[in-house]
Amino acid sequence: MRTDLAALFIIFGGSGDLAQRKLYPALFNLYQKGYLKEHFAVIGTARRPWSDEHYHEIIMTSLAGFEADETVKKTFASHFYYQSHDVTDAQHYETLKQLAAKLDDQYQLQQNRIYYMAMSPRFFGTIASHLGSEALLTADGFNRLIIEKPFGRDYDSAKILNDELTQTFEEDQIYRIDHYLGKEMIQNIMALRFGNGLLGAVWNKQFIDNVQITLAESVGVEDRAGYYETSGALRDMMQNHIMQVIGMLAMEMPVSFSAEDVQREKTRLFKSIQPYTPAEIKTNFVRAQYGETPVEGQTQPGYRQETNVAPASQTETFVAGKVLIDNERWCGVPFYVRTGKRLARKETQINIVFKKTGVNIFAPDKNDQSAVAPDVLTIFVEPEQGFALTLNGKKVGQGFELVSGQLAYQYNQQMLADSPEAYERLILEALNGDGTNFTHWRELAASWQFVDAIRKVWDADQTALPTYPIGSMGPKEATELVQSTGAEWIFDPTQSK
């Protein structure tokens, strides 16, 4: 891979939470690793009238967790420039253009530009059209737009936004971030699937009984109720992260590992997802809210008691569902998904549950499958990272009893020491012009259409949402959903307490 890349980053929302908590540390990591050296500069823009000196202090504060030498941090911070900028004011883009041209000369940036939208999505379209109309894009270098979620709140609004962006940027200049795709173990799905003949041979309906994806959070809504009330778990987690994980697990092998081929296969897969009728949505998808619950001697607030949440809010904090894929590889194999807040443990885990043997010769009744556990491939995404294959063996001793054992491959701290954080990885990929781990518009369109159908049924349904206790793994309806096909959720931290 090339090192010492040349680029100017223009960050819209340079004083915001995302910029300070994620982007500046990610850029510093790239700096320390030598991907960014002399030839980079950052213009942070936001409304506040900050000086460059104050901005440098903000950068230094955001690097507080790094053990690096102060002079290294200060040299890094000296590449940052602040521009007070109202994104709706055309005049401000002229000033921005002049500063960008000056820095381009000063740092020899080869007219390469990354425009990073790190502010409220309602401004994304405005910024992109001003970048076009005020001629910020350069003629010779690259111009790439990195855009944060949420990308729309349904298909229609996403389409309007995309139409706005594509008036200035081509599809291959737009890098839609889904930070899940920057996670080590999510990227590892490709290695497991397409790097192992053994798994490749059994990765289909003939051998796989069901697939389970859990994105569990232990925190509640925290201080994000304003946003969350308009979003809910379906839009916040299902439309993007869970759909992308389904895409990685279920797509066909791409012709190559290029962005174009990977995105094409994911799009094809999303188009193969079985659309549900309103009645099927009611039986195949479950929503719920965390309710007021006594935990460790005190009552913890339920979702409706949280600050800035409507007392009769119908916003779901939990979603579980069964997704079916109508193609030759997967027809009839349920993909069970669930995500929620205030669950038993913060953990993201994927379980590929294989079919059991046809007969059980170890039991008095050969048709009695109850004593045989299914083989399971578990992918630990976070906090632990690794994978494990659970197989049956013989229990040591007299008689003949089956017992489950694991072939486990856990990444330890030493192995993970070099693992870049998701933003660091994705920013570097955007710098290198590699869109493999970003979302193509066609993927996004298909995933919104699937999620919109569910939202429409739920919005029309005024029955009270079920609640689930804080610290559980969701409502009983989510358990019943999986049990209805004779399966069980493999990941159940409430059992191992």
Residue 313: both structure tokens together:
């809010």
Residue type, 99: L
- State in angstroms the smallest separation of the CB of 235 from ligand NAD: 11
- Of 121 and 141, the one with the shorter C-beta distance to ligand NAD is 121
- CA end-to-end span of the chain, whole Å? 45
Length of the chain equals 497
For residue 121, state whether it binds ligand NAD (rule: CB under 6 A): yes
- Of 75 and 230, the one with the shorter C-beta distance to ligand NAD is 230
For residue 418, state whether it binds ligand NAD (rule: CB under 6 A): no
Q: Which of 6, 7, 13, 254 binds ligand NAD (CB under 6 A)?
A: 13
For residue 15, state whether it binds ligand NAD (rule: CB under 6 A): yes
- Of 21 and 394, the one with the shorter C-beta distance to ligand NAD is 21
Please report how the helices 422-431 and 24-32 are oriented relative to each other, as an axis angle in degrees rounded to 10: 70
- Residues annotated as part of the active site: 241
In contact, 66 and 26? CB cutoff 8 Å: no
For residue 38, state whether it binds ligand NAD (rule: CB under 6 A): no
- State in angstroms the smallest separation of the CB of 179 from ligand NAD: 7
For residue 16, state whether it binds ligand NAD (rule: CB under 6 A): yes
Contact track, ligand NAD, 184-223, x by CB under 6 A: ----------------------------------------
Residue 340: both structure tokens together:
């929620």
- Of 58 and 288, the one with the shorter C-beta distance to ligand NAD is 58
In contact, 83 and 90? CB cutoff 8 Å: no
Picking from 85, 6, 11, the residue whose alpha carbon sits closest to that of residue 43 is 11
In contact, 26 and 20? CB cutoff 8 Å: no
Please report how the helices 243-250 and 441-460 are oriented relative to each other, as an axis angle in degrees rounded to 10: 130
What b/e readout covers 133-170, taking b as 16+ CB neighbours within 10 angstroms?
eeebbbeebbbbbbbbbbbbbebeebeebbebbeebbe
For residue 183, state whether it binds ligand NAD (rule: CB under 6 A): no
- State in angstroms the smallest separation of the CB of 140 from ligand NAD: 28
- State in angstroms the smallest separation of the CB of 365 from ligand NAD: 53
Q: Which of residues 139-178 bind ligand NAD (CB under 6 A)?
A: 148-150
- Of 6 and 145, the one with the shorter C-beta distance to ligand NAD is 145
- Of 24 and 441, the one with the shorter C-beta distance to ligand NAD is 24
- Of 18 and 391, the one with the shorter C-beta distance to ligand NAD is 18
For residue 136, state whether it binds ligand NAD (rule: CB under 6 A): no
Angstrom CA distances, 181 to 84, 150, 401, 453, 460, stand at: 32, 15, 42, 25, 33
- Of 85 and 113, the one with the shorter C-beta distance to ligand NAD is 85
For residue 118, state whether it binds ligand NAD (rule: CB under 6 A): yes
Separation CA 245–CA 416 (nearest Å): 21
* Beta-sheet pairing, 318-323 with 335-340: antiparallel
Cis omega before residue 475 (within 30°)? no
Pick the piece of the chain touching ligand NAD (CB under 6 A) from 42-50, 108-116, 134-142, 265-273: 42-50
Separation CA 234–CA 240 (nearest Å): 9
List, in sequence order, every residue forming a beta bridge with 213; answer none if it has no partner: 337, 350
DSSP reduced 3-state for 245:
helix
Residues touching ligand NAD, count (CB under 6 A): 22
- Of 141 and 150, the one with the shorter C-beta distance to ligand NAD is 150
Picking from 245, 146, 269, the residue whose alpha carbon sits closest to that of residue 187 is 245
For residue 87, state whether it binds ligand NAD (rule: CB under 6 A): yes
- State in angstroms the smallest separation of the CB of 146 from ligand NAD: 10
Q: Which of 47, 366, 456, 476 binds ligand NAD (CB under 6 A)?
A: 47
Q: Is the dihedral of CA 166, 168, 172, 173 positive or negative?
A: negative
Pick the piece of the chain touching ligand NAD (CB under 6 A) from 15-23, 64-72, 103-111, 415-423: 15-23
- State in angstroms the smallest separation of the CB of 149 from ligand NAD: 5
Residue 303: both structure tokens together:
């979702």
Q: Which of 2, 17, 38, 197 binds ligand NAD (CB under 6 A)?
A: 17
For 113, the enclosing helix (H) or strand (E) is strand 113-117
Pick the piece of the chain touching ligand NAD (CB under 6 A) from 9-17, 131-139, 253-261, 345-353: 9-17
Find where tokens 């080869």 sit: 110
Pick the piece of the chain touching ligand NAD (CB under 6 A) from 40-48, 133-141, 236-244, 439-447: 40-48
Separation CA 335–CA 353 (nearest Å): 10
- State in angstroms the smallest separation of the CB of 352 from ligand NAD: 28
27: left (phi over 0), alpha (psi -120 to 50) or beta: alpha
Task: Determine the residue with CB nearest ligand NAD.
Answer: 16
Q: Which of 119, 186, 211, 320 binds ligand NAD (CB under 6 A)?
A: 119
DSSP code at position 208:
E
Residues found near ligand NAD in the complex (CB under 6 A): 13-19, 21, 46-48, 85-88, 118-121, 148-150
